[in-house]
Amino acid sequence: MIVIPNTEVRLLFSVPLNNNYEHQLTFNSKSEQSSFFYNKTAHAFTDFTYVKEDGTLKVPRGRNKLYNCNYIMFRNNEFTDKWFYAFITKLEYVNPDTTKVHFEIDAYQSWMFEINYHQSFVVREHTQRWNSDGSPVINTVDEGLNYGTDYETVLVQQHVPFDDVFFLVMVCTETMHGGSADKGLIKPVLNGSPQPLTYYIHPFRMNGTTPKTTWQGTEWTLSSLNDVLKGLYKQEGAVNNVAALYVTEFLGIDMSYDGTTIAFPSNFDPVTIQDGTSMFNTYYLKDLPNYGGKMKWLGSKYLGYANVTESKLLMYPYTVTLLTDLKGDTVEIKNEYIQDKDLILMTKGSMGVSNKVSYHVANYLMNESDMENAGEVAMEHALINNNPNDVPIVTDLLSAYLQGNRNSLATQTQQIALNSIMRTVGGGMSTIGSAVGRNPVGVAAGVGEMATAGVNSYFQLQGLMSKQKDLETVPPSLTKMGGNTAFDYGNGLKGVYIVKKQITAEYRKKLSGFFKMYGYKVNELKMPNFKTRQHWNYVQTVGMNLTGNIPADDIATLKNMFNNGVTLWHGDWIGNYDLGNGEL
């Protein structure tokens, strides 16, 4: 049987493909594919006999006329209308008019529309970067890339729960307010838990002024902070009664504050604490079974970060948010694990015998099943500031002596007076008796006894007063030195600082280029993304899983191509990474 030459061969030029399979072109249809390669034709032949796929063919052209050809396409029309595509690997001289062309089948272009893809383990690919609302799609798989050793601080936000208002907490063993029947009592209070202590709260500003306050709609004018501190030192009822004295930013109550007036709830009573020497107005805690938090909205969780085209650069470790009090306590927050678009800061506090305030980000590392106990679980990632913010407590020995010996002093004074009277009366009776007996010597003795009784009483009273005078000359002593309060507040270290950090611009540029070329690491069993971007998709797999009515050698080649990593270009712009590559 004579075979009529019926094979079409086209030698192509400037085809941007080679047999390392690092880059490939994609097409939507066979006609689109064949049309693209047709337009690259340098030499066309239609009178070839069957072209075997053994890798060689002779063409009637001199070698010097084929130097610019790097690709061929051929079709054996007698047997099939399928086009095969191949890389030219060598041009071998035969004679001046004949060249032996060595070629290698391009498995991807030849079988592109016959491949059946299955789920495979995808190492890297171009994934979706942004959600429809503009937020980044979460991808936190470690890239193992060098991102530098330093971060830039891009934004610092300081948060104090009540802005410029702080609270002086006076923890006492006994009550200091009320009438004589109420003072000096041990009144247990429910303050988070049952406690046998008494609590007084005084809001103030660091410049020494006090804010306006209301209680149940009625304004209550507070004393100045100086008057409070003087009263605690001078009043007998305060000395040795104050067990703790400290400053805190938050009491565990979300009270209303409009920048001018702070509204105290019914858990408190406005009270006046006074004795004969001084007085001051403050608030007394009656009952507080449970503490409440305070919420602060701080804007988008990505506020402050430099704009990036690659969304992964907004995730850890390329960005990080720190909660810090600048006193040694720091908590690291990974923005992508905040379930909300915004950063919402929650503050919790208490009124124990020392300062304790916590700050945490709402809905951090939470899912829907956690929401029932969200408040408690969130404390796992909270910044807890329990640095001592104590205020020194001064002990006045004179006041302490007068307070502790009030009844004893009164009794001694009365006893001295009574003794003086009795001695005087006794001396007078003796004098009368002597006079009755007409005994001038007895009268003189009686008068002497009366004088001696008066002198003795004088010296006894003088001794009692001298003891008090001696105590008055003893300098007041500090029974509690205080903690870091002066340094912290004096240097503006108050509340919590939200510090946002980002890798340097140098490394943002380097990593942006890398992600632009090679996508993100995903390490997931899935269907690979072959065409999710406008201009190119990079795909790298392990053990690529594909099938088809394709020769075994070509199947192996295709699997190796994907396992080694390949960039699939969706147009004739291979290598042009200056193009935008947005999601389709």
Strand order in the sheet with 496-503: 151-159, 496-503, 319-324, 330-333
The DSSP letter of residue 336 is: G
Contact 387, 325 (CB under 8 A): yes
Strands (E) across 301-369 are located at: 319-324, 330-333, 342-349, 357-361
Distance from C-alpha of 278 to C-alpha of 234, rounded to nearest angstrom: 7
Whole-number percent of the chain with pLDDT over 70: 81
333 pLDDT above the threshold of 50: yes
Nearest CA-CA partner of 403 in 171, 223, 176: 176
Nearest CA-CA partner of 494 in 324, 360, 303, 343: 324
**pLDDT score recorded for residue 391:** 85
Q: Each residue of 303-322: pLDDT tens digit?
A: 999 999 999 999 999 999 99
Question: CB 154: neighbour CB atoms within 10 A?
Answer: 14
Q: Each residue of 69-105: pLDDT tens digit?
A: 999 999 987 767 899 999 999 999 999 999 999 999 9
Collapsing DSSP to helix, strand or coil, 374 comes out as helix
Greatest distance between any 2 Cα atoms in the chain: 185
Higher pLDDT, 431 or 184: 184
Q: Each residue of 399-429: pLDDT tens digit?
A: 554 455 555 545 555 555 556 555 555 555 4
pLDDT grade for 4, boundaries at 50, 70 and 90: low
Distance from C-alpha of 111 to C-alpha of 546, rounded to nearest angstrom: 12
State pTM to two decimals: 0.79
Contact 468, 396 (CB under 8 A): no
Higher pLDDT, 420 or 475: 420
β pairing state of 69-76 and 41-48: unpaired
Instruction: Write down the CATH number for the domain with range 1-114.
Output: 2.40.10
Contact 364, 333 (CB under 8 A): yes
110 pLDDT above the threshold of 70: yes
Distance from C-alpha of 237 to C-alpha of 274, rounded to nearest angstrom: 9
Distance from C-alpha of 22 to C-alpha of 560, rounded to nearest angstrom: 11
φ, ψ for residue 576, nearest 5 deg: -90, 85
Task: Specify the DSSP element, H or E, that contains 310.
Answer: none
**pLDDT score recorded for residue 481:** 45
What residue segments make up the domains of the chain, in order of their start? 1-114, 151-159+293-391+493-501, 165-290, 397-475
Whole-number percent of the chain with pLDDT over 90: 65
Distance from C-alpha of 135 to C-alpha of 311, rounded to nearest angstrom: 8
pLDDT grade for 389, boundaries at 50, 70 and 90: confident
